[in-house]
């Protein structure tokens, strides 16, 4: 190489090279895999083309090239713990890939790999190695074809072809399905890069040391693996390649760390300007710098893709990495908000290729700073409580902290598990992750349906029960406790009966306090049956609380959870509690749509397609149902059409409360896993206004449901299926949008069509 290439030039070189060889350059898909409900995040380049490989989709091109945004922070692929400890791991990274869908195969893929690496980028031919597949189980033929092609490349050393088994050189999309051998390309970085020099080990490809680095993996998808172990050739062979962008940049720029490439130069310069450290001082304590740079980059890309900090699911990950980055900042003397300054450098570096960063710059910077400020308010108290627990287990000669305690620290103080674990491990201790996960699953849905921080799982029910007894003794509440009517009372007036802050009753709350408010009556819906809770406001004469969650704190006690955004709320104040009706109506549209969807699935797939879980939120609905196989595109289209026809029919939606026995005798559908009392709420969608609700035969749909619903199906507006995929074995998942969400999606798609020149609108 005559000159040092920048990271942006290297990425563009890769794309341009394959475009010149007949590939279509496609943009990266979002970090949120909208078409694959089995993944929390897009974790590899092939996610975008998964449906093509399994045969359920086609593309208008046979060859593609891209640079895909990826996140590996959860599940099987989780690199979080290694970030900062070494020079190669990241939570966010880019995967360069070239793809063939039934077009070219091994000969072209290998030849082009060699040509790009050695002729375009000028890597030394004698330092490159290729690995090929030899089955250690003896069931799959050895990939001599790939080996022979490698040996035929100009200047390639035939002795540098090495064979490895299934662990290293065989790829499977899943337990069954498309699979095939792969051929990896490694580079010998020289003795000076051997991190185990002086120890009793042998350097080599796929060895223990860091002298040999994998650069690129060419996957040759040629078989279909069946449950009985049979391998049959696929009707069309595919190529799926992946090259770690950060790795190839470090090699081409001649540095010994991904973090020493120009991809991180701007971020590191900002950090050093803030700490006042010299480059030598920074490298002497490089771990915090690496963690911060990695986490800020990840957070910026996540927020740009709409994953803002939150309490569950993807949003939890964003919150966790921001808070973890902030904590590592304290290790290098940064105690004021600083992450947004680092993010500006990330946006400057990546904004040209990923315009969503520049477009969402204000949102990214605002979310980072807000989250840092929130964390700063509670981190001292949280870590102090954690330290007390760690001191206790050390005194008891134990080595691991109960995971339920770690969850309580998160729920109460916003201290993510990963930070608690960092602190524990720094002291030679650990935390029970399984216990934390169990506690988290009990108290919050992994879907991110919404929970406020605080004690949410019943540990404090006795405390709230005592508050109830006191209020009943004062005649402030009757025997039934707080009156709950989410169906008819979106706006109620009343008196503040109790305020609870940080688990303690208070007579008044302060600005920014997260507070739990008890009123004599509420119209706020409590999350249940898949429908998320209402949000809204509680307003006094001179103060306001933004309500973000509602819960049953104890039998007869309903607590509104929110933050004081103005004034000083006091017990005894007269208030108005008002549900956000725009948000509520969006939820109602989605909930009624799930009933129409359920009916359509029965009609088109069969009665076996029963609801197995759902999420009804203001933005979208998610519907899980029992079904052994994925739906065909034609079935999906029919379901979507049937739901929209039911919407257009303007059918009345009738809600009636009756005994459980009566409803069951009438044929109302009860959902597996739901709990019902003796009195239930039924929701009927009628074929016609002229038909009576009591006439079961006239009911288009009839279900037991405690959720909120619209009055007529036409109020839904429109229904669009966004995705259909696997949720678990034998369970499929549909995600869809209605009303405003459907309009926004339609509008976006029309804009895209117009921008691509595929839609012509003529006015006559």
* Core vs surface per residue 141-160: b (16+ CB within 10 A) or e: eebebbbebbeebeebeeeb
Burial class (CB in 10 A: 0-12, 13-18, 19+), 265: middle
Where do the structural domains in the chain lie, given as residue ranges? 7-259, 261-443, 461-579, 589-738
Return the closest-CA partner of residue 143 out of 154, 152, 135: 135
Check residue 20 and give its pLDDT.
97
Architecture of domain 461-579: Beta Barrel (2.40)
Angle of the 433-443 helix axis to the 417-426 helix axis, nearest 10 = 160
**CA separation for the pair 148, 155 (Å, rounded):** 14
Beta-bridge mates of residue 521:
483
C-beta separation of 96 from 243 below 8 A: yes
Which H or E run includes 750? helix 739-755
Beta-bridge mates of residue 231:
225
Check residue 328 and give its pLDDT.
92
pLDDT band at 482 (very low <50, low <70, confident <90, very high): very high
Residue corresponding to tokens 């605002």: 366
Residue corresponding to tokens 């020079």: 87
**Model confidence over 399-415: pLDDT tens digits?**
898 888 888 888 777 88
**Model confidence over 47-95: pLDDT tens digits?**
888 777 766 566 888 999 999 999 988 655 566 777 877 888 899 999 9
426's CB contacts (< 8 A; 6+ apart) are: none
Please state, rounded to an integer, the average pLDDT across all residues of the chain.
87
Check residue 153 and give its pLDDT.
97
The CATH topology of domain 589-738 is 3.30.980
Check residue 628 and give its pLDDT.
67
Whether 471 has a pLDDT exceeding 90, the answer reads yes
Residues constituting the chain:
764
Between 697 and 313, where is the model more confident?
313
Check residue 674 and give its pLDDT.
52
**How many C-beta atoms surround the C-beta of residue 415 within 10 A?**
26
pLDDT band at 594 (very low <50, low <70, confident <90, very high): very high
Which H or E run includes 748? helix 739-755
Between 376 and 647, where is the model more confident?
647
Percent of the chain with pLDDT over 90: 55
Which H or E run includes 378? helix 361-395
Between 330 and 359, where is the model more confident?
330
Return the closest-CA partner of residue 361 out of 417, 408, 304: 304
Q: Pairing relation of β-strands 430-431 and 400-401?
A: parallel
Report in angstroms the alpha-carbon separations of 718 from 339, 604, 713, 738.
Answer: 41, 19, 10, 5
Return the closest-CA partner of residue 70 out of 46, 35, 50: 46
What is the rounded radius of gyration, in angstroms, for the C-alpha atoms of the chain?
Answer: 29
Can you read off the two tokens belonging to residue 393?
């287990």
Would you put residue 617 in left (φ > 0), alpha (ψ -120 to 50) or beta?
beta
C-beta separation of 46 from 86 below 8 A: no
Can you read off the two tokens belonging to residue 731?
């369970």
pLDDT band at 452 (very low <50, low <70, confident <90, very high): very low
DSSP string, 381-433: HHHHHHHHHHHHHHHTT--EE-HHHHHHHHHHH---HHHHHHHHHHTT-EE-H
**Model confidence over 426-445: pLDDT tens digits?**
889 999 888 888 887 776 44
Whether 38 has a pLDDT exceeding 80, the answer reads no
Check residue 408 and give its pLDDT.
85
Check residue 677 and give its pLDDT.
53
Average pLDDT over residues 499-528: 94
Burial class (CB in 10 A: 0-12, 13-18, 19+), 48: buried
* Core vs surface per residue 516-543: b (16+ CB within 10 A) or e: bbbbbbbbbbbbebbbbbbbbbbbbeeb
C-alpha angle with apex 502: 496 to 507, nearest 5 degrees? Answer: 35
**Model confidence over 289-330: pLDDT tens digits?**
999 999 999 999 998 887 778 776 777 888 889 999 999 999
- The lowest-confidence range among 85-94, 178-187, 722-731 is 722-731
Between 26 and 159, where is the model more confident?
159
**CA separation for the pair 298, 318 (Å, rounded):** 8
Q: Where are the beta strands (DSSP E) in 177-274?
A: 177-188, 212-225, 231-244
Between 462 and 369, where is the model more confident?
369
* Core vs surface per residue 176-194: b (16+ CB within 10 A) or e: ebbbbbbbbbbbbbeeebb
Return the closest-CA partner of residue 92 out of 288, 297, 356, 346: 297
Check residue 446 and give its pLDDT.
38
Q: What DSSP state is assigned to residue 481?
A: -
Q: Quick one: how far is CA 57 from the chain centroid? A: 23
Report in angstroms the alpha-carbon separations of 387 from 156, 218, 384, 420, 451.
Answer: 58, 48, 5, 9, 26
Architecture of domain 7-259: 2-Layer Sandwich (3.30)
**Model confidence over 609-649: pLDDT tens digits?**
878 778 999 999 999 887 867 899 999 999 999 999 999 99
Average pLDDT over residues 529-533: 89
Check residue 299 and give its pLDDT.
95
**CA separation for the pair 547, 536 (Å, rounded):** 5
**How many C-beta atoms surround the C-beta of residue 315 within 10 A?**
17
């Amino acid at each position: 190489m005559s000159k040092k290439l920048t990271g942006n030039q290297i990425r563009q070189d890769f794309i341009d090279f394959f475009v010149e060889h007949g590939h279509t350059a496609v943009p990266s898909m979002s970090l949120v895999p909208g078409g694959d409900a089995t993944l929390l995040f897009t974790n590899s380049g092939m996610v975008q083309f998964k449906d093509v490989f399994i045969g359920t989709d086609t593309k208008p091109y046979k060859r593609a090239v891209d640079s895909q945004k990826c996140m590996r922070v959860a599940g099987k692929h989780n690199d979080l713990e290694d970030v900062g400890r070494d020079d190669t791991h990241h939570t966010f990274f880019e995967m360069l890939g070239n793809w063939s869908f039934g077009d070219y195969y091994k000969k072209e893929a290998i030849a082009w790999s060699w040509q790009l690496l050695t002729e375009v980028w000028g890597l030394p031919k004698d330092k490159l190695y290729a690995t090929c597949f030899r089955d250690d189980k003896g069931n799959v033929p050895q990939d001599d074809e790939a080996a022979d092609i490698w040996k035929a490349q100009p200047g390639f050393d035939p002795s540098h072809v090495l064979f490895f088994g299934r662990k290293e050189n065989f790829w499977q999309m899943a337990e069954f399905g498309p699979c095939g051998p792969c051929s990896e390309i490694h580079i010998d970085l020289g003795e000076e890069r051997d991190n185990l020099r002086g120890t009793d080990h042998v350097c080599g490809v796929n060895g223990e040391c860091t002298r040999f680095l994998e650069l690129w993996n060419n996957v040759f998808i040629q078989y279909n693996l069946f449950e009985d172990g049979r391998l049959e050739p696929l009707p069309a062979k595919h190529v799926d390649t992946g090259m770690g962008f950060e790795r190839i940049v470090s090699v081409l720029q001649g540095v010994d760390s991904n973090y020493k490439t120009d991809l991180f130069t701007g971020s590191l310069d900002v950090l050093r300007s803030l700490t006042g450290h010299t480059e030598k001082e920074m490298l002497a304590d490089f771990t915090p710098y690496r963690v911060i740079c990695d986490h800020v980059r990840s957070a910026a890309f996540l927020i740009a893709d709409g994953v803002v900090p939150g309490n569950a699911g993807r949003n939890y990950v964003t919150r966790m990495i921001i808070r973890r980055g902030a904590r590592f900042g304290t290790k290098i003397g940064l105690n004021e908000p600083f992450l947004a300054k680092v993010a500006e450098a990330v946006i400057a570096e990546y904004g040209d290729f990923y315009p969503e960063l520049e477009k969402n710059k204000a949102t990214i910077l605002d979310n980072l700073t807000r989250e840092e400020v929130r964390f700063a308010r509670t981190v001292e108290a949280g870590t102090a409580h954690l330290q007390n627990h760690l001191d206790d287990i050390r005194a008891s000669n134990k080595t691991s902290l109960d995971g339920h305690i770690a969850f309580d620290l998160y729920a109460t103080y916003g201290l993510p598990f990963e930070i608690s674990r960092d602190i524990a491990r720094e002291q030679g201790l650990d935390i029970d992750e399984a216990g934390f996960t169990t506690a988290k699953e009990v108290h919050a849905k992994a879907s991110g349906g919404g929970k406020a921080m605080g004690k949410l799982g019943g540990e404090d029910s006795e405390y709230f029960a005592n508050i109830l007894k006191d209020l009943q003794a004062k005649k402030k509440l009757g025997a039934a406790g707080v009156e709950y009517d989410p169906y008819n009372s979106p706006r109620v007036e009343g008196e503040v009966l109790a305020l609870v802050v940080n688990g303690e009753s208070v007579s008044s709350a302060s600005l920014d306090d997260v507070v739990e408010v008890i009123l004599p009556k509420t119209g706020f819906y409590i999350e249940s049956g898949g429908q998320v809770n209402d949000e809204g406001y509680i307003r006094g004469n001179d103060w306001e609380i933004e309500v973000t969650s509602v819960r049953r704190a104890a039998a007869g006690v309903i607590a509104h959870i929110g933050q004081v955004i103005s004034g000083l709320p006091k017990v005894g104040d007269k208030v108005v509690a008002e549900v956000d009706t725009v948000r509520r109506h969006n939820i109602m549209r989605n909930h009624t749509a799930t009933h129409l969807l359920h009916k359509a699935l029965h009609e088109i797939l069969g009665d076996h397609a029963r609801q197995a879980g759902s999420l009804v939120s203001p933005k979208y609905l998610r519907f899980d149902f029992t079904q052994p196989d994925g739906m065909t595109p034609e079935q999906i289209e029919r379901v979507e059409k049937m739901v929209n026809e039911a919407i257009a029919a303007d059918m009345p939606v009738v809600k009636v409360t009756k005994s459980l026995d009566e409803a069951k005798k009438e044929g109302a559908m009860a959902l597996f896993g739901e709990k019902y009392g003796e009195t239930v709420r039924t929701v009927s969608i009628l074929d016609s206004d002229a038909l009576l609700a009591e006439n079961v035969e006239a009911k288009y749909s009839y279900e037991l449901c405690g959720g909120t619903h619209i009055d007529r199906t036409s109020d839904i507006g429109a229904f669009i299926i966004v995705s259909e995929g696997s949720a678990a074995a034998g369970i499929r998942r549909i995600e869809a949008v209605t009303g405003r969400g459907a309009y926004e999606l339609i509008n976006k798609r029309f804009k895209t069509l117009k921008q691509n020149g595929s839609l012509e609108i003529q006015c006559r």
